[in-house]
Amino acid sequence: MRPPKDIKLLSGTSSRPLMLEIAQHLKVEPTEHLVSRFKDGEIRVQILENIRGHDVFIVQSTHPPADNLLELLLLIDAAKRASAKRVTAVIPYFGYGRQDRKDQPRVPISAKLVSNLIEVAGANRVLTVDLHADQIQGFFDIPVDNLFATPIFKEFFKGLSPETHTVVAPDVGASKRARAVARKLGDLPLAIIDKRRPAPNQAEVLNIIGHVEGRHLIIVDDIIDTGNTIIEGAKALIEAGALSVVAAAAHALLSGNAPQKIEDSPIKKVIVTDTIPTVWERKTDKMEILSIAPLLAEAIRRIHNEESISALFI
Ligand code: R5P
């Protein structure tokens, strides 16, 4: 089989700034395409140049509103019907990833349904960042590259000492991710918060496992949504004698008054990436936003050249 022709880069509305940044890193011109609305609000997309036989990458995070997901599906369909050789859905933030199991009666497995939609639309592969649960990869029957934001955080946190700093998992589910980050930041010790959710979007700290007194702490999570997980965690950690608490997460949903709550909390700093574009409108003085574009651009380059991307998992 002939290899695909050059890279063609497209995006939905919300991830356009990120796509343009990725294009700069790759030194490619974004593909001309239209994502607009009919008078009634229905989404209308059109690819305005020939992509026949090309390697097409469509960048779009699928955070709410659902139009973001729909734009992605329609762009995939348009690319497939325009005879692209290969279509990769580049999903910096995979929305609905938290609904990944049937944990209550009569609930959907939303992450599985979204995976099905992306595959049925015609994606040949998926490139994403910090999936809420690794096993979501298995919801797809196409290759899924799940990058971690760790290389970006590693650069920011370099030079920390195990003598003074500890990484904290904000709940038991986050301990695998936090342990990996702790190792990569120079074998820092790990502590774990035993968290309970009395209701959706609420967080309650029950216990802290590990030594936090007199230490500088870094809470590592995948998502900051209402901010309750990191805020309640930080309060409990400071009460337990921590010297300072910063938080790092790949995805900053920052719903409702999360930015103000974080500002008013004992958290010293919050480090996030720009996988969700609204982060720029919600930024406060305590927040540092790191660009995910270089990591995604390098992964796209390697996928296009059929090179291994395992070197990116540093
Ligand atoms: C939950 O399991 C996730 O990993 C995050 O901890 C959660 O989504 C954060 O949400 P919030 O900021 O609303 O507490």
In Å, how far are 92, 156, 179, 187 from 159, measured between CA atoms? 28, 9, 17, 11
CA distance 120 to 72: 12
Is 3.40.50.2020 the CATH number for 150-291?
A: yes
Task: Name the 3-class secondary structure at 20.
Answer: helix
pTM of the model: 0.95
Task: Name the 3-class secondary structure at 245.
Answer: strand
Helix (H) or strand (E) holding 252: strand 244-252
Residue nearest to atom 8 of ligand 1 (CA): 223
- Residues designated catalytic: 195
Residue nearest to atom 5 of ligand 1 (CA): 223
Ligand 1: list residues with CB < 6 Å. Answer: 98, 170, 173-174, 201, 203, 221-229
Tens-digit pLDDT string for the chain (314 aa):
566 679 999 999 999 999 999 999 999 999 999 999 999 999 999 999 999 999 999 999 999 999 999 999 999 999 999 999 999 999 999 999 999 999 999 999 999 999 999 999 999 999 999 999 999 999 999 999 999 999 899 888 999 999 999 999 999 889 999 999 999 999 999 999 998 888 888 888 789 999 999 999 999 999 999 999 999 999 999 999 999 999 999 999 999 999 999 999 999 999 999 999 999 999 999 999 999 999 999 999 999 999 999 988 86
Specify the domain boundaries for CATH 3.40.50.2020 within the chain: 7-148+294-313, 150-291
Kindly report the CATH number that applies to the domain delimited by 7-148+294-313: 3.40.50.2020
Query: How many angstroms is it from 174 CA to the middle of ligand 1?
Result: 10
Half-sphere exposure of 128 (CA within 13 A, CB side): 25
Query: How many angstroms is it from 302 CA to the middle of ligand 1?
Result: 31
Query: How many angstroms is it from 9 CA to the middle of ligand 1?
Result: 31
